[in-house]
Amino acid sequence: MTELDTLTGLEMHTKRVAESILYDFIFTNLAEGETIASISNVAQVNRGAVTGSTDLTVGTPAHDSESTAQVKLSGGTDKESYCLTVLAVTSTGLQRTCSGVLSVKDACS
């Protein structure tokens, strides 16, 4: 069963504090024949559920020149959630966004 974020309705992904993961953003809103040409930004919003929580470490984004962007994520704070948004420039020159939510949880919390 897929867990959905209660604030955004987006699928919630989970990682442990010590893990580094590859997070995929699948652009489902591209027109037929439109592809990702480049990634211009990856933004994160720390939800602030944990006092003193730290941001994620966001690696350099990559893309497959079709409809998927990928970012390496590490760090974060136990019990904190992060909303992530990738801004892509497409083959038609348009700017498109794709968002996701990541929850950071240690194994026994």
| Residue ranges covered by each domain of the chain | 12-104
CB 109 within 8 A of CB 79: yes
Phi-psi sector, 64: left (phi>0), alpha (psi -120 to 50), beta = alpha
Cβ-Cβ contacts under 8 Å for 93 (sequence gap 6 or more) = none
Residue 54 has pLDDT above 80, yes or no: yes
What percent of the chain clears pLDDT 70, i.e. is strictly above it? 97
* Lowest model confidence (mean pLDDT) among 17-21, 73-77, 105-109: 105-109
Residue 109 has pLDDT above 60, yes or no: no
Query: CA 55 to CA 74: how far, in whole Å?
Result: 9
CATH fit for domain 12-104, picks 3.40.50, 1.10.10, 1.20.1340, 2.60.40: 2.60.40
Cα dihedral 58, 60, 61, 63, rounded to 10, equals -150
Q: How far, CA to CA in Å, does 61 sit from each of 10, 20, 25, 39, 48?
A: 20, 14, 10, 7, 24
